[in-house]
Amino acid sequence: MPFPRRASRLLVLTGAALLVLLVIRLLPSHGGGYVASRVIPQRPRVFEGFDPVHPKQFHPPASIKPLPTGTPRRMPRVQAADADFAQTAETERRRQAVRRTFERSFGAYRKYAWMQDEVTPVSGRGKDTFGGWAATLVDSLDTLWIMGFDAEFAHAAEAVTHLDWGHTDSTAINIFETTIRHLGGLLSAYDLSGDKRLLDKAVELGNMLYAGFDTPNRLPGFWLNFREAAAGELLAGTADPSASPASLCMEFTRLSQLTGDPKFYDATDRVTRFLERVQNDTLLPGMWPTVLDFQHEEARDSQFTLGALADSLYEYLPKMHALLGGLDDTYERLFRVAMDAAEPNLVFRPMLPGGEDVLFAGDYQATGAARLVPRSQHLTCFAGGMFALGGRLFTNDTQVAVGEKLARGCALAYAAFPTGVMPEIFTMMPCERRDLCAWDERAWAKQGDEVLPRGFVNAWDPRYLLRPEAIESLFVLYRVTARADLQDLAWQMFEAIMRSTTTQYANSAIADVRAEQETNKLDSMESFWTAETLKYFYLIFSPPDVISLDEYVFNTEAHPFKRPS
């Protein structure tokens, strides 16, 4: 029996209406309206034999070391006195300009890549680079809170509760990146907001990452391979970046502090004890090489750096001291010895035509004729802030002065290039002595490259990836010294970045900072743009009580953790 025409039409209209509602439900929100939840992209389950919430331990620890107990030590003040800071109308104008840039960038993510890891700022699409667990969303939670995007934060925090660590397109995850971005982002957002759902999500993730330590010697590898974890076959690496296992301690320690479960602290403390055992048994005693053999617990490599592969190992030493309230003097001892080796061997003053008294951090080659390699990186720009923070915590004014010269060196490198932005990796001409550093035109003619700014020998990697390290150090030095000209340097950097990286949708990494005209956009905007770079720009123009360095300590992804009082 055929359907009546009216009933048929009604059925078609009803179906069309339901389809429209479904499409609206799936679309990202626009403008200021927010819905309660989102449909998350469907991803396959991780290897079926691996339980991400309660992973089986094949090599359980014989004992669990508890967190240090006792009353936290009274720390030296890190920030300058509040009265030394001035919040002017111009400062506030700059701060609001940074806030609008974040709003635009995060808005592009929300519109084109919601619940994916990143938005592509040139083509306006989404892509997954870190397991498909919404890296930009999780990484940006605390930035939303700090910048006062209350509705957006509430919407994002609710969306995070729908993340399922048991579903990913990856067969293995990078333990370091997942820890600093996802675990760090959740813990920081909880510290700031008190939203218990974020801590619950952090515990879930912490349990999964804890499986990475399930190796015969309880030291983690670089990857958490789900199939190997399910079979008890994980091993520590024999040539892993030293920073990777050695830069998990802040996040795991904070998770133990917040939950009362010491297993997370115990896991990373084992890495610290390995570092302690080998610190003075390396080819540059006091420092650890770029790669370490965590499986055999040896340190035989000959390359040393404060840059890529090793950076946050050193960064976390003074920060762990602060996070533990000074109750374990290990981190102070490790830092003091490491900096006593790093400062004379890796830090150099470059020969510059203007004679500027600034510093850069290079590399050190320990074999053959052991020597400084005056090759610096954008990544090493964090070192200015590290020296300043360590100098304040451990009452070493010389280190604070070194930190300021390092920070100003990176600002100089920004200003030197046509785009106003420094390259990823470059080489300079080092002076033999820091107190005598006259410009040598003959040496420049022999070593230099006429297409580069005077003083720069080459640009090994001319890209700019929206990295935060230079503004990070300027922010720390501004809070430590209250010198207003550091804010001016930061603003010059911000304006140059905006000129060079702005796209139709947000901001993009660029291919060559030497470009005289239009820059070549690489269609990449990693989550650290909204999690770190814009956060530090915002904070350097904020009053000193906004995330005070005497109340919070930042992980390497710029996530502030509450310090014990």
CATH of the domain at 134: 1.50.10.10
404 is catalytic: no
Residue 206 domain-assigned (yes or no): yes
Q: Are 555 and 188 contacting, i.e. CB atoms less than 8 angstroms apart?
A: yes
Residues 6+ apart with CB under 8 A from 505: 108, 112, 119, 121, 122, 124
Among 103, 158, 177, 261, the active-site one is 177
Q: Environment class of residue 542 by beta-carbon count within 10 Å: exposed (0-12), middle (13-18) or buried (19+)?
A: buried
What pLDDT, on the 0 to 100 scale, is given for residue 40?
A: 54
Residue 285 inside a domain? The answer is: yes
Residue 280 burial (C-beta neighbours within 10 Å; 0-12, 13-18, 19+): exposed
Binding-site positions for Ca(2+) read 556
**Is the separation of the CB atoms in 252 and 268 below 8 Å?**
yes
> Is 197 part of a structural domain of the chain?
yes
Binding residues: 556
Residue 487 in domain: yes
Structure tokens at 235: 């091993």
What is the structure's pLDDT at 53?
A: 87
Residue 32 inside a domain? The answer is no
Q: Among the options 142, 469, 512, 532, which is catalytic?
A: 469
- Residue 214 falls in the annotated catalytic set: no
Catalytic-residue membership of 301: no
Residue 41 lies in a domain: no
Q: What is the pLDDT along the chain (565 residues), one digit of tens a residue?
A: 343 433 334 343 344 444 433 333 333 333 334 433 335 567 778 878 899 989 999 999 999 999 999 999 999 999 999 999 999 999 999 999 999 999 999 999 999 999 999 999 999 999 999 999 999 999 999 999 999 999 999 999 999 999 999 999 899 999 999 999 999 999 999 999 999 999 999 999 999 999 999 999 999 999 999 999 999 999 999 999 999 999 999 999 999 999 999 999 999 999 999 999 999 999 999 999 999 999 999 999 999 999 999 999 999 999 999 999 999 999 999 999 999 999 999 999 999 999 999 999 999 999 998 899 999 999 999 999 999 999 999 999 999 999 999 999 999 999 999 999 999 999 999 999 999 999 999 988 888 888 899 999 999 999 999 999 999 999 999 999 999 999 999 999 999 999 999 999 999 999 999 999 999 999 999 999 999 999 999 999 999 999 999 999 999 999 999 999 8
520 in a structural domain: yes
* Active-site entry in 117, 142, 315, 424: 424
Cα within 13 Å of Cα(229), Cβ side: 32
Tell me which of 269, 311, 363, 472 is the catalytic residue: 311
Domain count, the chain: 1
CA–CA gap between residue 374 and residue 376 (Å, rounded): 6
CA dihedral defined by 113, 119, 125, 127, rounded to 10 degrees?
-80
pLDDT at 43 (0 to 100): 76
Indicate yes or no: pTM above 0.95: no
Distance CA 121, CA 240 (A): 32
Is the residue at 116 inside a domain? yes
**Is 142 among the catalytic positions?**
no
State residue 506's pLDDT score: 98
Looking at the chain, the number of H-run helices and the number of E-run strands are 21, 16
Q: Which domain holds residue 247?
A: 62-562
